[in-house]
Structure formats: C-alpha cells, structure tokens
Amino acid sequence: MKSPAGIDTDLGGDERRARRNPDYWQSVSQWWRQLISCRLCRNLSMAAFIAILLIEFVILIPSYRNYAEDLLGQHAAVARQAISTYLATKSDNVTADSLQKVLDSSRITGLELMVNDRWLRVGEPVTDAGDASGRLRDLPNPEKQRLDLVWNSGQWLGDYPVRARVDITGVSGELAAFVVRILGLSLLIAVFVTVVAMAVVDRMMLSPLLRLRTRIVQAGADSEHPLIYVREPERCDEFGEVEGAFNRMLEQNATYLSRLQSLNKRLDQLLMERTRSLKQTEQELQLRSLYDQLTGLANRNLFEERLTRFLTESKSADSAPSALVVLGLNDFQALNGLAGHEIGDRVLQEVARRLAAFSREPGYVARLGGDVFGLLLTPNQGLKDDHLEAEIAAIIGACTKPVLVAGKQYQCDVSAGVALTPVDGVEAGVLLGHAEIAMHRAKKSADLKVQFFASDLGEQIQRRQDMVKDLRNAIEKQQFELHYQPQFDRLRRCVGFEALLRWRHPELGMVSPAEFIPVAEEPGLIAPIGLWVIEQAVTTMKRWVDQGFSGRMAINISARQLADPSLVEHIRGVLGSHDLAPGCLELEITETALMEDVATALEILEGFRSLGVLLAVDDFGTGYSSLAYLKALPVKRIKIDRAFVTGLPDNEQDEVLCRTMISMAHSLGCEVIAEGVETEAQASWLATSGCDELQGFLLGRPEPENYWSSQSMAL
C-alpha cells in the first residue's frame, strides 16, 4: 500500500533502507500533513477512533465484572478449603483455640461455627454475611477490604453452618491493573485501526480526489485548451465514473469553445457594423438632446450651455451688458384646450420662427419648455441700453401677431421677464432663474407685459418678510375685518353674502387680500386666520338670521385648511355653539385646493356634506381639475371666475366658455354663480344664458356688517 507521496506501508528490506534516507522522512511528514489537513480524512479517522473506543468500553464492562467475580471466587475458594481441611482433620470437639489456628494459617480474619446450637466466634465479627454459593461481587464489601460469607449446613460442612470474614485487600489493586491493561490495549488497537483507516482513505479516496481537483483547477484556469486535461479513468468505481464524467465535460467544452470562437468572429463583424450604426445614432441623439423636436430651436440644455459659454467669454473680455429675455404665452393652455393640440403646435412653431429672426447667433434662442421661450440679446446684435425696451417691445409685438392656421387666426398674449448681466447674475442658471421669476411677475401683472428682475426684487423680498412679521402681529392684535358682498338671483333678490377678509394695517391702511393671502399661505398663518374668519362669519350670520335673513353665508376655504382633518369638527362646534343651521353656511373651495390632495379633500368634503354645510367650487375654469373628480365632489354651486365674465358680452371666446361651464354645471346638478359682474350688459347676458346667481360691483360692493345690518331691504 502506498501513500499519495509514493511511500510503501509494507515493511520490506527496501523500505527499511529507504527509511534511512532523509527525503523519505520528509515525504512521510508531507503525507501526514496532507492527511491531517484533509477534512474528509479527519472526520473519518475521528469517527473510526471514537467507534473503536466505544466498542472497547462496551467490552470492558462485562470483562471487568467477570474478572472481579473470579478474584472474589478465588479468595472464597481458599477460605472454603481452609475451613474444610480443618473440619476434616479435627480429632475432638471444636474449640476457639483450634479455630484461631485456621485464622492464623489463612486470609480468614473472622470465623463463626454453630456448635451445640450456639455460635462459636473467633477473630473479627461477621456482621453481614452473604451466601458463598451466590454471586460474590454483589455481596457487601466494606471498604472493599473484607468479604463476609456464609456456608449453610448440609453442603460440604456436614452439620456445622459456618460464617467467615475473608481479607480481600489486594482485589482493588488487581482490578485497577486490569482496567489499565485493557484501556492501554484498547487505545493501541484504536490508534492502529485509525492509522490503517487513514491510509486506506488516502489511497481509496483522498489521492484520487486531490488529483481530480488538480485537474479541475488547471482546466478551469486554462479554458482555451480543455482537451489536454482529458485522462483515462484509473479506476472502475465511483471515482472512475466521476473522472469519466469530467472527461466528457471537457470534450463538450472543447466543442462549445470551437463554436464560440466561430461566433466570436461573427460577433466582431457585427460589433464593427453596430459601432458604425451607433455612432450615427449617437450623432442623431445628440442633436435631439440639444434641440427641440417641435420647433427646431435649441432646448434648455443647449441654451444654458451656450449662455454659460457666452457669460464666460464676456467676463474675460469685459464686454457690454447683455439681456436675457424669457417669454411665456399667457393663454396658450386655453387655446390648446379649445382648438386642439395640433393647432397649438402650429402656433408654437410660428412663434419660434418669429423669435429666431431676432437672434443672429445659433443657440441664443430656445424653447425652454411648454409655452416658454428664451432669447439672449447681446451687444453684437447692436443692442444698446436705450433701445432695449424698444427691442423687447418689437419681440413681443411680433409674437402676439395672429397666427393663420387652416384659414383661421389664433392669437396669444405674451409676457416677458428680463434679466441683465452682470446686474442680475453672472452664471447661466442664476440669470435664467431670475428672468423666469420676472416673467411670472409679468404674467401676474394686469397692465405690464414686461418685468425687469432687478428693479424691485430685493424690495419685494424685504416686503414679504415684513408682511409675515406684520401678519403675526395682526393675528395677535385682531387687525382683520370681514366685509360682506351680496349675491343675487336672476330677479335681483339677495340670496346670500360672501365673507371677504380685509386687513387694516395700522400704518399702511387697508391691505389688499391679493397681497397678504399668498404670504399667509406659505408659513402656515392662514390656518388661524381661517378659523377666525369662520367664527366671525357664523356669528354675523346668526345675528342676521335672528333679524329675518333667510339666505346663506359663503366663506372661502384655503388649501391648507382643506388638508386639516379637524376642520369638519371645528365647524360643527362653531355652528352648534351659535345654534345656526348648517344649511346657512356655504364653503367655497378653489379647484387648485381640491386637486392638491384629492383623497383627503374628498374625505373632508364628504364630512361637510354629512354635516349639512353647502359646498361651492370657486374660481371655476382657472385650475386644472379633472371632470371625473368634479363629478364625484359633493358640491352644490359652481362659481365662474371674473376672468371669464370681464369680456362679456363682446368676447366670443368668453361667451363660449361661460355657456359651456353653465351647461356643464347644470348637467351635473349644480347651480351657477358668476362673480365680477360690473355692467348691466354682463348681468343681462348671464341671466339670459341660464346663470342662476350674480355677484359683483354692479349689484353690491363688499361692506362691513353694520352697513348691511342697516339695509333692511337687503336682508
């Protein structure tokens, strides 16, 4: 038998000579390290070693007991022989002196004979004697040094029952020596069998396994030449089957490798073709990523890149100031909704073409998104400070000219925001952001189509901060007032009032709600203000009901209030404390507030409906609400915004929109009230078109409570 290192385990002459070679012992050491480091060998060897020891221990227990029985039996037999010899050779009666001679000549230390019905005792007393014919190892053995035995009469003793105590002092030592011998022999056998088992495991399992592992590792590292690792199986057992399976796997890998090499060549060709195609596509995508696909103008990314480059060059060249103009089409969404997206796209394309005529540099005019365009006016275009406003006016005039599409003219108003370099910024992102802020200010302005960013931005920020501070003070000192504007039906009968918030500033006087309400929304101040409005309006309505008024009181609810789940219970408590019927109160919610969180809004509105409070949609048509949501809302009244009433009855678009909203509201089971009615022509057109109620300066201006309380006709 040989180890993996080629070492013979049979001890022949050649083997003995080999042992004198130092390399031999190095090989033996290596073989042992290999066996010990093998987890499989360690586990099998340890299992065999433990199993052999367990078997030896199992065999040792009965051997030990039998050996102990034999030793005790020998001592009992010697004692019996001594007693029987005495009884056989006695010539006269038994005496104590004669019995003492038996003790002196044997290992008996105590002896008792029954003579004439009484016990004759010599030596140590026999206290707990057991039957000498039984199993001796189970008899009492005080301190394992004495053994008390009894032989009954009628056996070999004749008529003398005998009890004797035998000295067995050496038995424990002999048993211990026996155990040591057996354990030593067991350990030697276990070690020998374990070594043999390790050698067998090495030859039958470990060596083939290690050779196979080496081939697997080498084949894995050299995947390009799998066939050189194919070996004929050396054995016909399971290891031979594993080697055969590994050889077949290598042959399959060689086949696959050949196929992969041919496919790789094909893939290289396809990759070259795909690379050329991708380069072309990349160029096309680059163009698409930098230019707007609808108008052909530069997009926001390219515009900011060109703007950054221009600002860098201008800074180094110390050139004259330039102007960044951001233009937005004011009513483009309405045009898109009425005329369709195709017409809207044609309008955007025409506006883009007109803007491009004002730029001589590529990339200096762009579509920033939706209906917003950007234009950079540089000194290279002959721009001068005193001609800037005229140039911007010419740009706006060109963009607002009607666009002819399919024989019809379409027109959009344009608002522009202007940021100047270096006053408003020297970075592209900052400058563009400031121009967009100015454009949004221009959209909100009723009379200015152009706003310059630097003119009053700092003052606006400071005013806003001061206003927030003053609003907090106003809440504490109750500087707010409620004015009430009447609402009339088509027969000019007063059917309700709308509570309008006013702020009487101690220094600025009366501050417009359009100025302080948006400021109060941002830091959350609108919530306590709204609760105060509800309390005051309900209190006033209760007094008017007691005076005989049978209409309703309308209160505006902000988006922040509508997101407060406790608002329903608060209104319930206010109505209950004033003993006012819920039907006397109407809450007006804007489309924008409804759409901020539809799920929460619907839940709170359902709470209002279950309470019995009336609900109305304010500023209808100015938001982006969904008709599907509007249909699901528990509203009773829809309020047409003043923006659609102002152009009546001369503006054709306003007429179409108002008729549509009235018809749609009636089909949903809602009443319609129009606000901003200021002329008899507007009131007459609305009444004729089916509008249920009217509100505006023509019928009544917002006035304090005491004014309307004194007008018994109105109440």
Average pLDDT, the chain: 80
pLDDT at 269: 87
CA 293/CA 367 separation, integer angstroms: 10
pLDDT at 2: 42
Instruction: Let me know if the fold of 291-455 is the same as that of 464-710.
Output: no
Q: Dihedral sign, CA of 198, 203, 207, 208?
A: negative
Who's near 294: CB < 8 A, 6+ residues apart? Answer: 345, 348, 349, 367
CA-only gyration radius of the chain, Å = 57
Residues above pLDDT 70, as percent of the chain: 84
Maximum C-alpha span of the chain: 168
User: Are the CB atoms for 643 and 623 separated by under 8 Å?
Assistant: no
- Inform me whether the pLDDT recorded for 714 exceeds 50: no
> Chain centroid to CA 58: how far?
61
List beta partners, residue 588. 556, 616
Task: Return the SS3 of 140.
Answer: coil
Question: Range with the lowest mean pLDDT among 376-385, 466-475, 494-503?
Answer: 376-385
CA 7/CA 25 separation, integer angstroms: 10
pLDDT average, residue stretch 226-241 = 73
Angle between helices 332-339 and 652-667 (to 10 degrees): 70
Annotate 382-448 with DSSP letters as a single string.
T--GGGHHHHHHHHHHHHHS-EEETTEEE---EEEEEEETTTT-SSHHHHHHHHHHHHHHHHH-SS-
pLDDT band at 696 (very low <50, low <70, confident <90, very high): very high
pLDDT band at 484 (very low <50, low <70, confident <90, very high): very high
- Inform me whether the pLDDT recorded for 121 exceeds 50: yes
pLDDT average, residue stretch 219-233 = 74
pLDDT average, residue stretch 180-193 = 83
Report whether the peptide linkage leading into residue 422 is cis, meaning its omega lies within 30 degrees of zero: yes
Structural domain spans, the chain: 230-290, 291-455, 464-710
> In the 3-class helix/strand/coil scheme, how is 5-37 assigned residue by residue?
CCCECCCCHHHHHHHCCHHHHHHHHHHHHHHHH
pLDDT at 24: 62
User: Are the CB atoms for 701 and 497 separated by under 8 Å?
Assistant: no
What DSSP state is assigned to residue 626? Answer: -
- Inform me whether the pLDDT recorded for 555 exceeds 90: yes
- Inform me whether the pLDDT recorded for 236 exceeds 80: no
pLDDT at 7: 40
pLDDT band at 671 (very low <50, low <70, confident <90, very high): very high
Cα end-to-end distance, the chain, whole Å: 123
Ordered alpha helix ranges (H), 95-226: 96-104, 171-201, 207-221
pLDDT average, residue stretch 115-124 = 78
pLDDT band at 613 (very low <50, low <70, confident <90, very high): very high
The CATH-assigned architecture of domain 291-455 is 2-Layer Sandwich (3.30)
Which DSSP helix (H) or strand (E) runs through 642? helix 642-645
The answer to whether the pTM exceeds 0.85 is: no
- Inform me whether the pLDDT recorded for 6 exceeds 60: no
Other C-beta atoms lying within 10 Å of the C-beta of residue 144: 11
- Inform me whether the pLDDT recorded for 581 exceeds 50: yes
- Chain segment 434-462, per-residue pLDDT in tens: 889 888 888 887 767 888 886 544 455 45
List beta partners, residue 131. 150
Fold of 464-710: TIM Barrel (3.20.20)
CA 98/CA 116 separation, integer angstroms: 17
Q: Dihedral sign, CA of 126, 130, 135, 138?
A: negative
pLDDT at 702: 92
pLDDT band at 8 (very low <50, low <70, confident <90, very high): very low
Q: Which of 203-212, 342-351, 353-362, 388-397 has the highest mean pLDDT?
A: 342-351
| Residue 228 identity (one-letter amino acid) | I
What DSSP state is assigned to residue 554? Answer: E
- Inform me whether the pLDDT recorded for 712 exceeds 70: no
- Chain segment 623-655, per-residue pLDDT in tens: 555 565 566 678 888 999 888 999 889 888 989
- Chain segment 356-398, per-residue pLDDT in tens: 888 877 778 999 888 899 999 887 654 544 567 778 888 888 8
pLDDT at 579: 92
Question: Range with the lowest mean pLDDT among 80-89, 356-365, 508-517, 700-709?
Answer: 80-89
CA 151/CA 423 separation, integer angstroms: 133
Who's near 223: CB < 8 A, 6+ residues apart? Answer: 253, 257
User: Are the CB atoms for 307 and 376 separated by under 8 Å?
Assistant: yes
Edge-first strand listing for the sheet containing 108-115: 118-123, 108-115, 162-167, 146-151, 130-131
- Token look-up 């507030």 returns 593
More confident site: 696 or 336: 696
Q: Dihedral sign, CA of 553, 558, 559, 563?
A: negative
pLDDT band at 554 (very low <50, low <70, confident <90, very high): very high
Structural tokens at position 713: 């006709």
Which residue, 710, 302, 402, is CA-closest to 544? 710
- Inform me whether the pLDDT recorded for 333 exceeds 50: yes
- Inform me whether the pLDDT recorded for 22 exceeds 70: no
Residues above pLDDT 90, as percent of the chain: 16
Other C-beta atoms lying within 10 Å of the C-beta of residue 212: 15
CA 301/CA 290 separation, integer angstroms: 6
pLDDT at 157: 56
